[in-house]
Structure 1
Amino acid sequence: MYELLFWRYIEEIYLNHHEVYEALAEKQEVEGLQELPVEVIVNRINSIFSQWERVDENSWKNPNGKGAFQVITTPQSVKIDCYGTEGKTMNQLVSVMEEFKCPLYDPQVPERYDEMSE
């Protein structure tokens, strides 16, 4: 499994990314993060991956057998667990989240790709 995590800071607030990740993993609310339109985000993911089999409300499976992913949301974050998913697919998911101004935090590295901070 490969984990992708996304959140958005309130303007001018920057926290320790790994501590934010750990708090979100425990489903805790984190002061300094914005609430996300999670329903809109999940609908957007669904429209981008409309060719994929929707296993349940939060899971998609590639019809050609090349991976699957599950979207887990809190009011402040979107976590996507990828199972055997191709890099191209993960990049598509990252692009969707960038539309919502939520850069990728990759806990495997660990690094936050926050090139959107002005």
Structure 2
Amino acid sequence: MRVDNNPTINITAQDTPIDYAPAVPQATPINLPNVTEEQHRAYEESLKQVQAATQAILATGSPYKVATGTKAKTLLAQIKVGKQIKFRIVGINKATTTTAEIEITDQFKDALRKCKII
């Protein structure tokens, strides 16, 4: 993402807060008869790891990318005085990579002010 001729700011799945990614269905641990306490702990730990990995996959595949912190503050500061936002969504190949430009009009800035974003 780039405002006017400022340096590009990359927003990735890793930047996206987890609450903006799709939710992972929570698995219910099952009762495992005839297993040792150590085996039961290993099962529960495996279940947690699978759920965490699934959440990471969903976040990466989410169509939403959100910036927070310094990146968000930098972009908003640039938008306040800027004229154009340029987006590039990089896909797995040329066919799925898209680019767009949005003019930063007074109406756009008014909308951001009304939402208390700027």
- Give the TM-score taking structure 1 as reference length: 0.30
Structure richer in strand, relative to its length: 1
Structure richer in helix, relative to its length: 2
- Larger Rg belongs to: 2
- Give the TM-score taking structure 2 as reference length: 0.30
